[in-house]
């Protein structure tokens, strides 16, 4: 009898441990999503765990839309939108969620508006299948204070600043240069970005070039696998240091386009008069067939197609 009790005790212990293990495995498999709210200080975002009722993009878009429209009952944070701003409706097509606001949206102060925009983009783009968020004002494309359309926004435009003080946000209008579809000319892509002031603009530009173009009819000029080892400006020269992928993972475009994409993009945005490119600190190397890196390259817009020439 004593042996039977001992066996039963061991068996029950095993069952309890197994059940606990199953619960732990189930918890590990749970995907955690977040809702975004405004901190009471109104200078940063707060996140609250969100569990969708159903793991489908359409359901999650609808639920997040409804949650963003509802007032907050918490004493620890505020809803993103002020009460006077109405989110009229939304559409979800392809990979884009489009939000339509009334005219009161443009009356928010700059700090609140940036936080609202950030929180909404982060909330929707965490959904599998949603890549972009677009804002409308009464059915028309939303514009900034300078009259420029905001266009489609993606998570990468905001995620570096998540939870940080609003003062870390900086806006910049850039000319980024990519290749045309034939890979024999540069094409200019005008883009407005918002980025962390903790990151130098020159580095942001190179990062955006590595990400590739957003517009149709353009090709990337640099491999997205290329790693940036350093970007700095000293006495008017921008020094860009890549890893070896810059040499080994080249794109199917003319060799000059990769170099002058970097040089022209940096020259347009930064007060520089030349760019020095190196690979793991070494400039005594040749890029592809004949582009020596042991020289300082200056902007050259002759590689632009005729439609893009100034």
Asked if 111 and 100 touch (Cβ cutoff 8 Å), the reply is no
Q: What is the pLDDT of residues 36-90, one digit of tens each?
A: 998 887 778 888 999 999 989 999 999 999 999 888 778 888 999 999 999 999 9
Quote the DSSP letter at residue 284. Answer: S
pLDDT above 80: residue 193: yes
The residue with greater pLDDT, 125 or 144, is 125
Q: Mean pLDDT check: name the lowest of 102-111, 177-186, 216-225, 288-297.
A: 102-111
User: For the chain, what are the domain ranges?
Assistant: 33-164, 175-308
- Tens digit of pLDDT for each residue in 264-283? 999 999 989 999 999 998 99
Q: Return the closest-CA partner of residue 207 out of 235, 233, 236, 242.
A: 242
Number of residues written out for the chain: 310
Distance (Å, whole) CA 46 – CA 78: 9
CA distances from 255 to 11, 113, 279 (A): 70, 42, 16
181 φ, ψ to 5°?
-65, -25
- Mean pLDDT over each residue of the chain, to the nearest integer: 84
With a cut of 90, say whether residue 219 has pLDDT above it: yes
Return the pLDDT at 96: 96
Among 74, 71, 94, 65, smallest CA distance to 84 is for 71
Are the C-beta atoms of 276 and 239 separated by less than 8 Å? yes
d(CA 36, CA 197): 22
CA atoms within 13 A of residue 304's CA, in its CB half-sphere: 18
Ramachandran bin of 52, using left for φ above 0, alpha for ψ from -120 to 50, beta for the remaining angles: beta
- Mean pLDDT lowest for which of 9-23, 105-119, 153-167? 9-23
Residue 117 has pLDDT above 50, yes or no: yes
Q: Is 76 helix (H, G, I), strand (E, B) or coil?
A: coil
Position 88 scores a pLDDT of 95
Cβ-contact 134, 171 below 8 angstroms = no
Confidence bin at 108 (pLDDT 50/70/90): confident
User: Is the Cα torsion angle 68, 74, 76, 78 positive or negative in sign?
Assistant: positive
Residue 3 confidence (pLDDT) above 50: no
Instruction: Give me the pLDDT at residue 284, please.
Output: 92
The answer to whether 185 and 214 have CB atoms below 8 angstroms apart is no
Q: For residue 203, what are its two tokens?
A: 């580095």
Q: Is the pLDDT of residue 150 over 50?
A: yes
Is pLDDT larger for residue 28 or for residue 68? 68
Q: Using DSSP, state whether 1 is helix, strand or coil.
A: coil
pLDDT above 50 for 26: no
**234-264 pLDDT per residue, tens:** 889 999 999 999 999 888 899 999 999 999 9
What does the DSSP 8-state code read for residue 298?
Answer: -
β-bridge pairing 218-219 and 291-292:
unpaired
Residue 24 pLDDT: 40
pLDDT band at 31 (very low <50, low <70, confident <90, very high): low
Mean pLDDT of 190-205: 85
CA quadruple 41, 126, 87, 141: dihedral sign: positive
Q: How many CB atoms lie within 10 A of CB 33?
A: 17
DSSP string covering 102-153, please? -GGGGGS-HHHHHHHHHHHHHHHHTSTT--EEEEEETTEE-B-TTS-B---E
146: confidence class by pLDDT, cuts 50, 70, 90: low
pLDDT band at 110 (very low <50, low <70, confident <90, very high): confident
Whole-angstrom distance, CA of residue 171 vs CA of residue 169: 7
The pLDDT value recorded for residue 308 is 62
């Amino acid at each position: 009898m004593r042996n039977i009790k001992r066996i039963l005790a061991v068996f029950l212990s095993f069952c309890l441990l197994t059940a606990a293990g199953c619960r732990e495995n189930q918890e590990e498999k749970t995907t955690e999503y977040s809702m975004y709210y405004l901190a009471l200080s109104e200078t940063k975002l707060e996140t609250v765990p969100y569990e969708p009722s159903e793991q489908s993009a359409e359901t999650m878009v609808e639920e997040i839309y409804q949650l963003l429209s509802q007032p907050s009952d918490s004493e620890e944070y505020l809803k993103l939108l002020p009460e006077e701003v109405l989110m009229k409706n939304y559409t979800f097509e392809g990979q884009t969620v489009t939000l339509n606001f009334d005219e009161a949206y443009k009356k928010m102060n700059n700090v609140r508006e940036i936080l609202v925009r950030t929180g909404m983009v982060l909330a929707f783009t965490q959904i599998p299948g949603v890549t972009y968020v677009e804002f409308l004002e009464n059915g028309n494309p939303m514009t900034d204070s300078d009259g420029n359309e905001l266009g489609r926004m993606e998570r990468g435009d905001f995620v570096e600043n998540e939870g940080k003080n609003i003062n870390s946000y900086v806006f910049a209008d850039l000319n980024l240069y990519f290749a045309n579809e034939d890979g024999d000319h540069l094409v200019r892509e005008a883009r407005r970005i918002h980025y962390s002031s903790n990151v130098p603009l020159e580095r942001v530009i190179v990062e955006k070039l590595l990400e590739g173009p957003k517009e149709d009819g353009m090709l990337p000029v640099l491999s997205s696998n290329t790693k940036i080892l350093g970007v700095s400006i000293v006495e008017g020269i921008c020094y860009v240091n890549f890893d070896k992928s810059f040499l080994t993972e080249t794109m199917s475009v003319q060799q000059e386009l990769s170099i002058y994409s970097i040089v022209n993009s940096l020259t347009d945005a930064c007060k520089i008069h030349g760019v020095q490119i190196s690979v793991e600190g070494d400039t005594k190397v040749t890029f592809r067939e004949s582009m020596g890196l042991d020289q300082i390259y200056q902007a050259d817009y002759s590689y632009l197609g005729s439609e893009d020439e100034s």
